Amino acid sequence: MADTPSAPVPMPPSAPAPLRRNAKAAVAKPAGRKRLRLPIAAVLVAGFGSLMLAAVASVLVLGLVSATTNTFALLNDKADLALAGVEVRVRHQLDPAREMARFVAGLIERGDLRPDDATAMADTLRGALAGGPDVTGLAFIRPDLTGVQVGRLNGGLSVGTLDLQGDSDVPPEVLDGPNRSAATWADPRWLKEAQNSLVTLYQPVRRDGRYLGQVAVGVSLGDLSRFLSVLYVEQGLNAFVLYDHTHVLAHPALVGRSFDFSNKPDGPPLPRIDQVDDPALAALWSSGTPIQSLKKRVEGRSVRVLGSDYAFLTRPMAGYGQQDWIIGIGYRDGEMGNEIRRLYTTGAVGLAILLVSVGVALLVGRRISRQVARLAEAADRVRAFEFRTIADLPDSRLREMARAASAFNAMVAGLRWFETYVPKALVLRLMRQRESMGDGAGGPDHGGRLDSVLREVTVMFTDIRGFSRMAEHMAAADTAALLNEHFTLLAACIEAEGGTVDKFIGDSLMAFWGAPEEQEDHAARALRAAYAIHHAVRADNRRRVSAGQAPIQVRVGLHSGPVVVGNIGSDSRINYTIVGDTVNVAARIEELSAALQGEAEVIVLTSGVTAAKGKDAVPLVRQGGRSLRGRTGTTELWRLVPPEEERKETAKPAAPTVKPTPAATPSTTDAGSAKV
């Protein structure tokens, strides 16, 4: 119902003229005032800058009293970011092993790779290892403790068999594989062949609930030390990774050194901290003194060795074994002490902190604006119905942004289901048609819906011959899979020619051309789509036969004429569809094609009306007039015969292939079928 315009409220007639002028002025004054709008980045900069200026004075005064405490606090603030960076890089060094294990396990679980095919397994493992330079070895262990392994040796890849039967030193993660469903990292183990210690990830593999074995991915700790050495050269960070307070997993000083832990009686196969060329690290836990740390997860220790002071910051890192590893960074005390003392003795400390605060404010403003821009970009993709390409919006520490992201992600998830049931191409066409018609399309009494109109279209019906008998011997899932593949094949051909898939009826499909967008060549488009379906079904049948499956026979019927097209249905559910006698004739032509199909894989019958309108779109052979079930008179029919099929029947007498014209298609039924 149209909105009723509200009547203007007049001034009381008894109001004096000055009062009326003042009222007008009061109304006009706000309208002429320009609202001041500040960018959020400027507000953040001013706010954070003021706070930091106040903090500078406090820090300077308190720093004179507690210089030592502030020294380590600043060191911790700076190094915490470095610790986070080291942890991220260490995880990036190890996490490819998890992705590789998931990839190989996925191949086996989907049936693309058989566990008992040693040759295929070796080739797959070798290819996966070649693509993962951070991984040292890769293996698949069957339930009987045999398998295939691939490893890096002397600059190349070596492939061999694996047999742990009777081995007394089988890792417990291997034996516990049938009882686990998730991947797990094992404690470091000594690999005799590589003369190195490895950390190994074990990924159980199951198919239909049955345990098939485990994928094992090993990463050399020597590679991890080389990575920390590069980090030291590039950024000057003396980073290390400890297994516990006694053993070292990775350290730049371990590069180029070799150890033999094959006969080590106890403990992990790792060097002790006193075997690393780092005296300060060796004294870290024995003589180190705890220092203040501003971060809850960061532990600070001060060590004095050979007349020099060192500060170490460490924190645990979980996820790679039974116990947490320890990542840390070591600094010589003078590296930051001189800088901080210079800051205390110069007046530029306030300006420096102010600049830092401005940078942080700009960074925060940029991050917020980036989240808003990401939301706007995703909204544009929603408008374009590109639901599958929209990545989930990340969470935010800002409550409103987090709520907006959560709500938007939920909306997109629902729209993805919506897209599954509603043809995206049809909705986009309707939207374009509505925009071209203006906001008033459909009229005020239609709720924005498009009016139903009489339109000249071409209708297509398809059907699988003998599908009911075929489905009797198939499982429900296989039947659905067959139909899904079949309809996907047909829909691609139809949509490639600008057609609209109206509905799926059992094993039948109904489509049309000429609506919602007017298409002058709708008949030619439909004939070309039928031609593409003909070739696609035949190609798919060749694939089915090679896979040991029975081919399918498809019937296609086409007819052109006027229909009523628009939104048809109830208040609770509505469909954009077509109705009319043209639809019935197309269905009857498809039904009649069963009697003419014979052993052909695909038969395409079209009425004389469609053949005439389609002109030379596809090769057609005249079939003469035929009676359709439930209709009087005869309908002129034409059959699509591709050149390759026409050559096969050159030995048979056939009706001449002539160019269809409106005059060549006399039919009382066709003339009458224009009635809706």
> pLDDT by residue (tens digit) across 564-588?
988 777 777 777 788 999 999 999 9
How far is the C-alpha of 340 from the C-alpha of 147, rounded, in Å?
Answer: 59
Q: Please say if the pLDDT value at position 673 is more than 50.
A: no
Q: Which two tokens stand for residue 425?
A: 């191409």
Q: Please say if the pLDDT value at position 447 is more than 50.
A: no
How far is the C-alpha of 35 from the C-alpha of 554, rounded, in Å?
Answer: 68
Q: 33 exposed, middle or buried (CB, 10 Å; 0-12, 13-18, 19+)?
A: exposed
Q: For 520-547, what is the mean pLDDT?
A: 94
Q: 314 exposed, middle or buried (CB, 10 Å; 0-12, 13-18, 19+)?
A: buried
Q: Which candidate, 130, 136, 133, 160, places its Cα nearest to that of 216? A: 136
Output the pLDDT for position 16: 40
Output the pLDDT for position 58: 62
Rounded to the nearest integer, the mean pLDDT of the chain is 76
How would residue 162 be classed by pLDDT, with cut points 50, 70 and 90?
Answer: confident
Output the pLDDT for position 20: 38
How far is the C-alpha of 279 from the C-alpha of 401, rounded, in Å?
Answer: 49
Segment 149-158 long-range contacts (CB within 8 Å, at least 24 positions apart): 149/125, 149/216, 150/122, 150/125, 150/126, 151/193, 151/194, 151/218, 152/194, 153/193, 153/194, 157/126, 157/129, 157/130
Query: Which residue type is seen at 133?
Result: P
Judge if the upstream peptide bond of residue 516 is cis by omega within 30 degrees of 0.
Answer: yes
How far is the C-alpha of 513 from the C-alpha of 295, rounded, in Å?
Answer: 67
Residue indicated by tokens 């079949």? 486
How far is the C-alpha of 647 from the C-alpha of 642, rounded, in Å?
Answer: 9
How far is the C-alpha of 385 from the C-alpha of 415, rounded, in Å?
Answer: 9
Q: Which two tokens stand for residue 285?
A: 């836990």
Output the pLDDT for position 351: 60
Q: Please say if the pLDDT value at position 290 is more than 80.
A: yes
Q: 643 exposed, middle or buried (CB, 10 Å; 0-12, 13-18, 19+)?
A: exposed
User: Is there a contact between 460 and 557 (Cβ–Cβ < 8 Å)?
Assistant: yes
How far is the C-alpha of 148 from the C-alpha of 146, rounded, in Å?
Answer: 7
Quick: pLDDT tens for 214-245. 999 988 877 778 888 887 777 667 888 898 88
How would residue 671 be classed by pLDDT, with cut points 50, 70 and 90?
Answer: very low
Could you say which DSSP state residue 238 is in? E
Q: How far is CA 138 from CA 104, 111, 161, 187, 474, in A?
A: 10, 19, 12, 16, 40
Output the pLDDT for position 462: 95
Is the model more confident about 593 or about 569? 593
The CA dihedral of 82, 87, 90, 92, to the nearest 10 degrees, is: -110
Q: How far apart are the first and last CA of the chain?
A: 31
Q: Please say if the pLDDT value at position 68 is more than 60.
A: no
Output the pLDDT for position 669: 37
Q: In the beta sheet, which residues pair with residue 272?
A: 247
Q: Which candidate, 106, 71, 99, places its Cα nearest to that of 206? A: 106
Q: 234 exposed, middle or buried (CB, 10 Å; 0-12, 13-18, 19+)?
A: exposed
Q: Which candidate, 622, 642, 616, 614, places its Cα nearest to that of 535? A: 642
C-alpha neighbours within 13 Å on the C-beta side of residue 330 = 26
How would residue 591 be classed by pLDDT, with cut points 50, 70 and 90?
Answer: very high
Q: For 340-361, what is the mean pLDDT?
A: 59
How far is the C-alpha of 26 from the C-alpha of 11, rounded, in Å?
Answer: 14
Is the model more confident about 487 or about 659? 487
How far is the C-alpha of 105 from the C-alpha of 138, rounded, in Å?
Answer: 12
Residue indicated by tokens 């033999």? 260
Query: Which residue type is seen at 253?
Result: A
Is the model more confident about 8 or about 245? 245
Is the model more confident about 53 or about 223? 223
Percent of the chain having pLDDT more than 70?
70
Output the pLDDT for position 441: 45
Q: For 443-462, what is the mean pLDDT?
A: 73
Phi then psi for residue 529, to 5 deg, are -65, -40
User: Is there a contact between 140 and 151 (Cβ–Cβ < 8 Å)?
Assistant: no
